[in-house]
Amino acid sequence: MAIYGRTWWGEKWLQCFNRIDYDNRLSRGRTCANTGRAFGVKINGHIVTAKVHSSGSYPYKIRGSKPQPYQVEIILNELSPSEQRTIRQIIETSPSILSKLINRQLPASLFDKLSDLGIKLFPSNWKEMNASCSCPDWAMPCKHIAAVIYLIAAEIDKNPFIIFNIHNCNLSTLIDDFGNGKLENAQNVLMINNVLKTCPQVRIHTTFNQAILNDIDLSAIPNLFDCISGILTDNPLFFEKNFHNILQIAYKHWQKHPAGKVGYYGYLQRSKKKLSEEELFTKKWGNIENWETFQLSINDQHYLTQASNGATNLFMLSKNILQDIARFLKDIPNSLLHKLNPELRFMHMISQFARIMMEKSAFIPQILQNRREEVIIRWIPALSNASVKEIHRKMASICPPLLIKYQETALEPEKQVNVAISLVLLGYITDNFPTSLSKYRDKCIFELFFTGNSYKFTKFSNKEIPQAINLWLSRLYLADKAYKFYLMIKDHNEKFELEVKLSLDDEKSFIKLEKALSNQNIKLSILSDLALLSQYIPELEKAIDSNSKLSFNLDDFAPLFLGILPVLRAIGITVILPKSLQKIFKPELSLNVSAKDKIKEDRESFLTLESLLKFDWKVAIGDKKISVKEFKKLLKDSRGLVRIVDQYVLLDDKEVESLLKKLDKTPNYLNQAELMQAALTGEMNEAKVAFDHQLTNLFSKLNTYTPVNTPNNLIAQLRPYQERGFSWLIQNIESGFGSIIADDMGLGKTIQVIAAILYCKNTGFLDEKRVLIVAPTSILSNWQREMERFAPELKFFIYHGQNRELASDYDVALTSYGLARRDKKELNKIRWFLLVIDEAQNIKNPNTEQTKAIKAIEATHRIAMSGTPVENRLLEYWSIFDFINKSYLGTSAQFRTRFATPIEKERDKTCLERFMKITSPFMLRRLKNDKSIIQDLPDKIENNRYCALTSEQTALYQKVVDTTMEKIEKSDGIERKGLIFKLINALKQICNHPSQYGKKKHASIEQSGKMQMLEEVLTGISDLAEKSLIFTQYTEMGEIISKLLEERFKSKVPFLHGGLSRKARDTMINDFQNLFQSNILIVSLKAGGIGLNLTAANHVIHYDLWWNPAVEAQATDRAYRIGQERNVMVYRLLSTGTFEERIDEMIQSKKELANLTISSGENWITEFNNDQLRDLVNIKNAL
C-alpha cells in the first residue's frame, strides 16, 4: 500500500485538504488511488487534469461495454509575476535554500519566509481551488478528486517543484538563472552510452601483467558497511517501505554469504577415488586451459549477450547465466591459474575482488538510463574509498584489451573493469539473495536493484522514481566531480575549527567556498553537494549563507570526528587534520619476554628455551607502555576521545572491553612454535612482543647461517648457491628443525641433500642411526645413480621388489611411497636419524593413508624436497610443513583460518608477509631467474633422468637380447652388422615404449618407464607455466607421445615431423612461439635438426638419444640460441640398467667420441666383439 505525505511538504499538502474535507472523502479517495483507478494525470500551468475509473456499475454507454473513466480537473491559484520575483529574490540571497531546492528538498525556511509575506503554496480553503469531476456525486471533494489529490501528494514528495508548477511557477527555470549549467544536467540520470565510453582498439594500450595482478592486496579493502549505511538516508521516496533497511539487510547477508551457494560439485563426487579440487572442477567445466581467450559482450540494457572462449559460445544464455559465470570464476582452483589465458586469470581476480567487496560491503548501486528511457541499476566498486580505487586502478592498467565489448565495440579499460565487476556481482547477488526479502520480489524497484532487469517509468505516478533514486544514490558519488571538497580542521588546544574549501580540476591549491560559488559553471552542482553535506553536519547550513567557519569544543567535536568524518571520507571528501589528530592512539596489548638466567647463544638452545623465560604483559598507548593496573585506573576517569599529555587517545567502549577480556586471559607460557613465530614477526595474537638483548641475539640466528665446509669426499663441486643450501640444511639439522628445500627444477636439490647426508656420516651422526629416503618409484634409479656418482662412500641399498628385505650394513635406505605405506611397521623398527622425502607433493593430502604412513615414521630430523610452487597451494604446503615441523603451523583448520583463506581468497599481503616470516627459516626456494643465483648457472643445465624399465619392458628387452644375440654370435661381416643395428634399434624402441616395438595401437603411460618419467618432468614444468620441446628420432614414437600426453594433459600436443606441409609446420611453430596454451611441442630429431627457432621453450627433453653429442647439441640449440633470455634446462632420459645407460657412460668418459661426425651415428657399436656386445646390452642393476 502506497504511503502519502512522507515529506513535511507532502504532509503539508494533505493537511490542508484534511481541514477542508468535511465529509471524510479523502480517505475514500486514498483507497481509490491505491487501487490504481486514477491515471493520466497531467499538469498544464495551474490546471491539473486526470481520469479515474469508477468502482460502481455506472456510467455505461451500452450495457456490456467497458466503463468510461470520470474526468477530473483541479485548478489552483496562479502565483503572480510579483510573487514569483519575490521567490526568486529569496532564493538568490540564500545559498542554503538554493542548495536544498537543487536536491529536490523544500526548505522549511523558504516556506516560512513566503508565508510571512502572504505567499501561499498550499490551499487553506476551497476558494483557492476550483475542482470538478464528471461523476454524479454531489459531495465535494468527491473520492475521484481526492484520489488525484493523493497522487499529487505522492509526486510532491519526490519532487517539491510540483508545488510551484501547479501554481504556474516554473521553479527549474528560476534556479537555472543562478548558474550557467542547467539544473536538469546537474540532476539527470547518467546515460549508459556516456558512462560506457567505447574506445577504438588502436587506442587501447593496456597489456596483461601477472606481476601487477600478484601485487594486488584485497585485504586492504576496509569494511564499508557502516559508512555506506551512514551515507544513505532512511525512507527514500521511491519505495513504500524503508528501502534503506532493505539494503542493510541485503548487505549484511552478503557479508556472511558473499559468493553464492555451496555444495555445487557434490553430485560429481561419485568415483571411488576422492577427486581433488582441480579434478572436480575439470570434470564439471572441462579443460579450460585450452581456451584461447575469454570474452563477454553486453547491450545497452547492460544485459550479457555473449560469453565466448574465442572459438565457441560458453554458458547457455538464460536468466541464470550470470550465476553460472560467477560460480565458474569463483571455483577456478588456484593451482590451475598459471595454465590459463590472461583473460581468465584476470576474470578470476575480478571474481575475487567482487567477493571481497561483497564481504566488506565495498560496492554500491549505480543508476543508468539508455536512449529508450529504460532505467538500469548495476553494482560497481565504491571508488570513493582509496583502497578500492587503487585496486581498481591496477586492474584497469592490465585489463586485456578485448575482455568486454559493448554493442560489439571495445571499451576503455576502466569501463571494462566496471562492467566485468558488475556482471560478477550481479551473479553473486542473484545466486544468494536473502530469503527474508523474497516478499518484495514482485516490486519493480526490487527487480531493478537486485535482478538486473531494466524498467521504463512513464506514468505520472512513477516518472519521478528514477530521479528520486538518483538523488538518493548521488551522495555516494561526490568524489566523481571535477572539483573536490576539503574539510580543513584546526586544533586550538581542544577548541576545534572547521572550514569548507575546494580545489578545481585536480589543482592542489585550495579556494574558499565563496570564491568557488562565484564560478557559474559549477555553482549549482556545488550547492547540490553542500545540501548533502549539511545532512551530516547541520551547522554547515548557516555557514553556507554566512561564509563563516564552524567552531566546536572537544565534547561536541568528538562525535563529529569519530562518527561523521569517517563517513564523509568514505564518499570522497578529503579531511585535512592538524598534526595532533593525524595519529589517534588506541590501547594495545604488549608483551616483554626476557630470560630468567643467562642462556647459551647457540642453536641447541632452541630445543629447551620455553622453560627458561619470564613474561611481562603491559598496555601500550602510542610509544608509552603502562602496567595493567595503571590502565584500569585510567579507564575510571576517561572514555571516548581524550587528550593525554600531548596526544589524543581513543578509548572506545567496545574495544576497551575486548582488551580487558584479553588481559584476563594472557598466558604466562609460550610453547616453542609460539616463541619462534613471535620472535620472527614481533607479535603474537595482535600483541606486540619485545625480547631482551640475549634473546634477540639468539633468535637472530634463525634467519642467518654461517658457511659449513662441504665434505671432502663429495665427488662434485657445488655451485655457490648450492653451498648455501647445503649449509642451511646442516644448520637446521643441528638446531633440531626440519627443512623444505623447494628450489626450481634443475637447480640440484638432490646433490645438496646428498652432501648433507654425507656430512652427517662424516660427523658421526649415522654411527648408530640411519637415513631413509622416500621417493616415487620412477626416480629411485636417479637417486641410486646420483649417490654412486657423487658420494660413493655412502653405503646404500634400495628397499624394493617382491623379495625386499632390510639390509644389515648401510647408511641410507631408498624406498618408494607405496612401500613406505605398505611396510610402515617394518620401517618403524629402524632408528632413523634423517627422513628425506622427494617430490613431497605426494603427501599434500593430509587425509590419505600414504601421508599418514609417512608422517608416522619416526625420525630425529626431516627434510622435504619439492620443486612445485606452493604459492597457490597453501593447504598442501601445510601438510608438507606439518611433516617437517609437527604442529608449528597449528592444525589444518587453524592454518586455513589464519593463512590459507586470507592469502588465497583475500590476497592479504600483510598475512602473506607474516606467513613468509614464520616459515622462511625452514623453507628454501630459489628460482632460475633469481639474481642471487643466475650468475652461478651455466646457459644450459643438463640433467640425466634415469628411468626404470617396467616389468613388461624388462621381459621384452631380455627376450630380444637373448634371441638376437644368438643370431649375432652365429654371423659375421655385413650380416652381423645388420643384426647389431637391428638389435640396437629394437632395444631403443622397447626402452621408449613396448607399443612402439610391437606396433600395437593401444598404449599407456604405465607401460613405459620413460613415459612415466616424461609425465613427471612435464607435470613439474606445467606447474611453472613454462614451455617444453621433446625430441625423438622416431616418427611413430612421436605419435605415441603426442597421443598419450594429450590424454594425460587434456590438451593438444602437436608433433613437428618431416611429413608436414610447409604451412602446417609454420602454423605449429608460430603457435608454440606465441600462444599461451601451446606449451609442449614434440619434434622429430631429423625435422628439428636445422632451420628452427623455438626460443619460447626453456626446457628441452631428449626422449631417446642418437648417441652423438653433436646431434644432441644441434637439437638443443633449437631452444638455446640468440634471443633466448632464460637458462635452458636439458633433460636426457636414460633407461636404467640397459645399454642406453652404458653407452652414455662411455660417451661421457671417452672425450674423443665427442668429436664423432654427425653421420657416424651408432656405427662404432658394430665394432664390439660378442662378449663386449652382450655386456653392453644385458640388463644390470635394474630395480
Beta-carbon contacts of residue 276 (< 8 Å; ≥ 6 apart): 845
In the block, cell 562518527 appears at 563
Can you name the residues that pair with 915 across neighbouring β-strands? none
One domain for residues 456 and 486: no
Residue 597 belongs to what H/E stretch? none
Does residue 187 fall inside a structural domain?
A: no
Does residue 184 fall inside a structural domain?
A: no
Can you name the residues that pair with 946 across neighbouring β-strands? 1134
In the block, cell 609454420 appears at 1066
> What CA–CA distance (Å, rounded) separates 172 from 188?
13
pLDDT reported for residue 24: 67
> What CA–CA distance (Å, rounded) separates 889 from 881?
8
> What CA–CA distance (Å, rounded) separates 1132 from 1121?
19
Beta-carbon contacts of residue 837 (< 8 Å; ≥ 6 apart): 773, 774, 775, 843, 854, 862, 863, 864, 865, 883
Does residue 3 fall inside a structural domain?
A: no
One domain for residues 157 and 197: no
- What is the phi/psi pair of residue 551, to 5°? -120, 140
Grid cell locating 884: 617437517
Q: Using alpha carbons only, how large is the chain's radius of gyration in Å?
A: 40
> What CA–CA distance (Å, rounded) separates 313 from 336?
22
162 close to 237: Cβ distance less than 8 angstroms: no
Domain stop point among 934, 966, 996: 934
Domain stop point among 128, 156, 178: 178
How many distinct structural domains can be found in the chain? 6
Pairing verdict, β 47-52 and 70-76: antiparallel
One domain for residues 287 and 415: yes
924 close to 739: Cβ distance less than 8 angstroms: yes
376 close to 364: Cβ distance less than 8 angstroms: no
Does residue 255 fall inside a structural domain?
A: yes
What global pTM score does this model have?
0.82
One domain for residues 884 and 870: yes
Does residue 901 fall inside a structural domain?
A: yes
Pairing verdict, β 812-816 and 796-799: parallel
One domain for residues 546 and 577: yes
User: Taking the chain (1183 residues) in consecutive chunks of 10 residues, what is each chunk's mean pLDDT?
Assistant: 83 78 72 88 92 65 65 92 92 86 89 92 79 85 88 90 92 73 66 81 67 90 91 89 93 86 50 70 86 92 90 82 91 87 94 95 95 94 92 95 87 94 95 86 87 90 90 87 88 88 78 84 84 86 81 87 85 86 85 80 62 81 82 77 77 80 80 85 86 83 84 94 95 91 90 97 94 92 92 94 85 94 91 95 89 94 84 81 93 92 86 91 86 76 91 95 94 92 94 94 93 93 87 94 92 90 88 87 73 79 84 73 68 93 80 42 77 90 63
Smallest CA-to-CA distance from 1024 within 483, 337, 260 is with 337
Domain stop point among 881, 913, 934: 934
One domain for residues 172 and 306: no
pLDDT reported for residue 1077: 82
One domain for residues 821 and 698: no
One domain for residues 368 and 385: yes
One domain for residues 223 and 346: yes
> What CA–CA distance (Å, rounded) separates 237 from 154?
9
In the block, cell 504556474 appears at 168
pLDDT reported for residue 61: 44
Question: 562-574 burial by CB neighbour count: b if 16+ within 10 A, else e?
Answer: eebbebbbbbbbe
CATH code of the domain in which 776 resides: 3.40.50.10810
> What CA–CA distance (Å, rounded) separates 246 from 242?
7
41 close to 461: Cβ distance less than 8 angstroms: yes
Residue type, 64: G
DSSP 1161-1179: TTGGGGGS-HHHHHHHHS-
> What CA–CA distance (Å, rounded) separates 337 from 1025?
9
- CA 230 centroid distance within chain: 28
How many Cα atoms within 13 Å fall on the side-chain side of residue 447? Answer: 9
Does residue 412 fall inside a structural domain?
A: yes
Grid cell locating 26: 479523502
One domain for residues 614 and 718: no
Pairing verdict, β 304-308 and 295-298: antiparallel
> What CA–CA distance (Å, rounded) separates 1152 from 1150?
5
- What is the phi/psi pair of residue 808, to 5°? -100, -30
Does residue 183 fall inside a structural domain?
A: no
pLDDT reported for residue 806: 85
Grid cell locating 419: 562492467
> What CA–CA distance (Å, rounded) separates 1076 from 509?
48
One domain for residues 1145 and 1043: yes
One domain for residues 1006 and 1125: yes
Does residue 2 fall inside a structural domain?
A: no
142 close to 135: Cβ distance less than 8 angstroms: yes
In the block, cell 520480489 appears at 441
Residues in the chain: 1183
> What CA–CA distance (Å, rounded) separates 200 from 403?
14
Question: 597-633 burial by CB neighbour count: b if 16+ within 10 A, else e?
Answer: eebeeebebbeebeeebeeebbbbbbeebbebeebee
Beta-carbon contacts of residue 1056 (< 8 Å; ≥ 6 apart): 1065, 1068, 1069, 1081, 1082, 1083, 1084, 1087, 1088
Grid cell locating 23: 465529509
Longest dimension (CA), the chain: 135
Pairing verdict, β 574-576 and 511-512: unpaired
In the block, cell 654371423 appears at 971
How many Cα atoms within 13 Å fall on the side-chain side of residue 342? Answer: 17
Smallest CA-to-CA distance from 296 within 320, 319, 321 is with 321
Instruction: Count the neighbouring beta carbons within 10 Å of the beta carbon of residue 699.
Output: 19
- Reply yes or no: is the peptide bond before residue 566 cis, omega within 30 of 0: no
410: left (phi over 0), alpha (psi -120 to 50) or beta: beta
Q: 373: burial class by Cβ within 10 Å (0-12, 13-18, 19+)?
A: middle
List the beta strands (DSSP E) in 768-858.
Answer: 770-775, 796-799, 812-816, 832-837
**Residues spanned by the domain of 397:** 192-263+276-477
Residue 303 belongs to what H/E stretch? none
- The DSSP code for 897 is I
pLDDT reported for residue 263: 45
898 close to 890: Cβ distance less than 8 angstroms: yes
How wide is the angle at C-alpha 378 spanned by C-alphas 349 and 241, nearest 5°? Answer: 130
Beta-carbon contacts of residue 252 (< 8 Å; ≥ 6 apart): 225
> What CA–CA distance (Å, rounded) separates 555 from 553?
6
Grid cell locating 148: 488525484
